[in-house]
Amino acid sequence: MGNLKAKVQEKKGGSFNKLNAATRRAIYSLCILVGLFVLFSILQPAKFLAPANLQNLLQQIVTYTIIGCGLTFCLVCGGNDLSAGASMALSGIIMVSLLMQGLPLVVCIALCLIMGIMTGIMNGFFIEILGVVPFVATLATQWVYRGMANVLVNGAPLYTTNIPSKEIQKQFYVLGGGRIGGDGLPYSVIITLVYAVILGIVLAKMRIGRQIYACGSNLEAAKLSGINAVKTRMFAYCISGLSAAICGILVASRLSSAQPTAGNGYEMEAIAASVLGGISILGGEGTILNTVIGALMMGVIRNGLNLNGVNSFWQQMIVGIILLIAVASQTAKKSGDLGAIKRFFGLRK
């Protein structure tokens, strides 16, 4: 009888029920994204659909997407990283500082990326070696990295106009502020897309990616199966640090300055984008595609609300409410309480 009931339910759900949870959430999020796009296209067709606005929208989500892609590795393996925004600011400061010393652009980028990886190693050390809870460890390192950024420049911004070589100034600006053909798609969007594809392949197709999923799904079972959980989770934090460094370089390039206050709250925006896209906050589920869709949702919501004259305070509330609903839905499904919630609202007897 039980087998017959299961077969009937599977037949009703069709092939959709065979998809994993992250894929189903990605489809839901994509449908919502399309709905939001259509809604704002109707409300402000001339402004929202303008090519310049769409290009601006894509450039705005670069930070959410890059930091979010790094955080995806942490979230999937059952961790978190609240230091990403501060690490981004520190990276920007170091990048411009090195350029001001007259070092070649490629060397400065390489050193900055290494520094980003080092911040990830530090986070991983406190969490995996010393056993500090990810929330507490990365909250503490957030203050450390932010403090370092301020100490290096005495709290003052660094401007790329102080770079000795005018040619390097121009080359550096192209990374974050340049566009194809001068007025086409921003190069930063292309860099973001390529980076997301690379991380997507690493997470979905490579052995380390499968190990990250295993650690996030059941850490003890992963250890028993022979996976080095410490190295695997350290790798996830290194990817998050690397992502923050890339974002710091691009933002400093686009703004032609490195601000010690840059990236303040960006980690929360990135986490929100990841969760809205379908990344499980409980670990073990999610893909880079989920994060990209979530970042697009965040960008469309903020851009659309701006065009319709909604002030930033209301925008924070709206995004917060949407995020709360997304998280509550995930945890309810995971704990089996979704049926009780539906019964509470009269959706199920």
Q: pLDDT tens for residues 228-249?
A: 999 999 999 999 999 999 999 9
Give the pLDDT confidence score for residue 293 in this predicted structure: 93
Which residue's structure tokens are 């998809």?
19
Mean pLDDT, range 70-78, rounded to an integer: 94
In 3-state terms, what secondary structure has residue 312? helix
Q: Residue 31 contacts by C-beta under 8 Å, 6 or more apart in sequence?
A: none
Mean pLDDT, range 29-39, rounded to an integer: 91
Retrieve residue 188's tokens.
């930063």
Give the pLDDT confidence score for residue 237 in this predicted structure: 96
In 3-state terms, what secondary structure has residue 186? strand
Give the pLDDT confidence score for residue 145 in this predicted structure: 96
Mean pLDDT, range 221-232, rounded to an integer: 92
Question: 255-281 burial by CB neighbour count: b if 16+ within 10 A, else e?
Answer: bbbbbbebbeebbebbbbbbbbbbbbb
Q: Residue 203 and residue 247: Cα distance in Å, rounded?
A: 20
Give the pLDDT confidence score for residue 344 in this predicted structure: 40
Q: What is the overall mean pLDDT for the chain? A: 87
How far is CA 51 from each of CA 26, 75, 104, 310, rounded to the nearest angstrom? 26, 34, 35, 22
Give the pLDDT confidence score for residue 278 in this predicted structure: 85
DSSP letter at 179 equals B
Model confidence pLDDT, tens digit, residues 115-147: 999 999 999 999 999 999 999 999 999 999 999
Give the pLDDT confidence score for residue 7 in this predicted structure: 45
Mean pLDDT, range 185-199, rounded to an integer: 94
Residue 345 binned pLDDT confidence (cut-offs 50, 70, 90): very low
Give the pLDDT confidence score for residue 120 in this predicted structure: 96
Q: Which amino acid is at 139?
A: L
Give the pLDDT confidence score for residue 158 in this predicted structure: 94
Instruction: Decide: 144 and 276 in contact? Cβ < 8 Å.
Output: no
- Whether the per-residue pLDDT at 250 is higher than 70: the answer is yes
Domain positions in the chain are: 62-293
Give the pLDDT confidence score for residue 41 in this predicted structure: 92
- Whether the per-residue pLDDT at 50 is higher than 80: the answer is yes
Q: Chain-centre distance of CA 6, in angstroms?
A: 37
Give the pLDDT confidence score for residue 313 in this predicted structure: 85
Instruction: Decide: 315 and 60 in contact? Cβ < 8 Å.
Output: no
Q: Residue 255 and residue 259: Cα distance in Å, rounded?
A: 9
Least confident of 8-22, 75-89, 127-141, 181-195: 8-22
Residue 349 binned pLDDT confidence (cut-offs 50, 70, 90): very low
Residue 335 binned pLDDT confidence (cut-offs 50, 70, 90): low
Give the pLDDT confidence score for residue 284 in this predicted structure: 86
Which residue's structure tokens are 């170091």?
94
Model confidence pLDDT, tens digit, residues 78-112: 999 999 999 999 999 999 999 999 999 999 999 99
Mean pLDDT, range 330-335, rounded to an integer: 64
Among left, alpha and beta (phi > 0; psi -120 to 50; other), residue 197 is: alpha
19 vs 35, higher pLDDT: 35
Give the pLDDT confidence score for residue 13 in this predicted structure: 47
Residue 333 binned pLDDT confidence (cut-offs 50, 70, 90): low
Q: Residue 313 and residue 306: Cα distance in Å, rounded?
A: 11
181 vs 258, higher pLDDT: 258
Give the pLDDT confidence score for residue 11 in this predicted structure: 46
Q: Residue 329 and residue 322: Cα distance in Å, rounded?
A: 11
- Whether the per-residue pLDDT at 206 is higher than 80: the answer is yes
Which phi and psi angles does 268 have, rounded to 5°? -70, -40
Give the pLDDT confidence score for residue 230 in this predicted structure: 93
Q: Residue 120 contacts by C-beta under 8 Å, 6 or more apart in sequence?
A: 81, 234, 237, 238, 239, 240, 241, 242
Instruction: Decide: 253 and 176 in contact? Cβ < 8 Å.
Output: yes
Give the pLDDT confidence score for residue 29 in this predicted structure: 85
DSSP letter at 89 equals H
Residue 151 binned pLDDT confidence (cut-offs 50, 70, 90): very high
Give the pLDDT confidence score for residue 346 in this predicted structure: 44
